[in-house]
Amino acid sequence: MEEKRLSEKESLELISRMIQTTRENMQVGSGNQFLYWGYFTAALSVILFMLVYYTGDSRWSLGWFGMFLFWFYMRWMERKNESAVITYADRAIMQVWLVIGSLFILTVLVMFALSFYYGGVDFSLMLPLSLLYAGIGVSITGVIIRSRLVTWSPLVAFCFAIYMLMAFTIHRAVTIDWYLYFGLSFVVMMVVPGHYINRKAKESCSKN
């Protein structure tokens, strides 16, 4: 009987620690990850827009590959600062974004392969596909952490992605305005939810 009471006590303590860890991770992890990506992508989109617009040299668009360098850097930072206790929700979110990141890499590799086979490919297609991939990742994250705002924040990104894909089907020219649409989408679906998650986490922690 004594062992059963001790086991129940330990279970309650473990649950409490996991809840607390999840709240802390949302404050310094999930929310900040959104902010890092949102601000970086928004800044990159504006910089590339200005470079292409004022120089007239479309080769500056290669700067979009800087997002992969940033992704590898963020992965390195995550492993370096990995929490000692990882909850089921934490692990689920990490796995979701690992799959999303793999989709980005796979898409680029396939596009490179097609460019060699057919002699060229329009890498502008990565803009709408990236919005779809990232938007799906954000929505799933919102479902896991049970936040409606986070779940529905990619709507703007989805609308721009559909518009861009439809432009391809009706053979409309890709414009550098898409860069700004791309940056705006990341502000709405990552910067806003990132600040929201941090604020909610701080409020939750202050009550305990």
What is the residue extent of each domain of the chain?
2-206
Check pLDDT > 80 for residue 208.
no
Least confident of 17-21, 93-97, 183-187, 196-200: 17-21
Residue whose token pair is 């668009």? 61
Residue 160 to residues 75, 168, 185: CA-CA distances in angstroms? Answer: 27, 13, 8
State the pLDDT at residue 122. 84
Non-local CB neighbours of 32 within 8 Å, separated by 6+ positions: 194, 198
Confidence (pLDDT) at 1: 42
CA-CA-CA-CA torsion sign (181, 165, 65, 131): positive
Closest to 186 in 3D by CA, of 37, 73, 70, 67:
37
Alpha-carbon dihedral of residues 22, 25, 26, 32, nearest 10 degrees? -170
How confident is residue 2, by pLDDT bands cut at 50, 70 and 90? very low
Does the pLDDT of residue 45 top 70, yes or no? Answer: yes
Angstrom distance (rounded) from CA 136 to CA 118: 30
